Amino acid sequence: MINVLFFAQVRELLGESSLTLDAGEGTATADALRQTLASRNDKWARVLASDKLLVAVNQTLCHWHTPIKDGDEVAFFPPVTGG
């Protein structure tokens, strides 16, 4: 199982804070997982566009090509801005 977390505006726009997926097809990398989730519908595709999103695997900020394995926690969140 892969635990997927959504933070900040991503969580608000999706109306989901987390979900659990079976590890397998469509979850080999952080980007594959993002694409699998984005294929749910147009709203998910807009919110999970990679140019508006950061990803962390097991609480470590990572690249989109980072491998995902059974038991991992993957978090999607918008870039942090300051001011």
Q: Tell me, what amino acid is at 81?
A: T
Residue 58: CB atoms within 10 A of its CB come to 14
More confident site: 62 or 27: 62
Residue 80: which pLDDT band, with cuts at 50, 70 and 90? Answer: confident
Write the pLDDT tens digit of every residue in 32-45: 999 999 999 999 99
Residue 82: predicted pLDDT? 63
Report CA 5 to chain centroid distance, whole Å.
7
Q: What is the pLDDT of residues 6-23, one digit of tens each?
A: 999 999 999 999 999 999
Identity at 29, one-letter amino acid code: T
Which DSSP category does 28 fall into? S
More confident residue, 53 or 50: 53
Contact 9, 15 (CB under 8 A): no
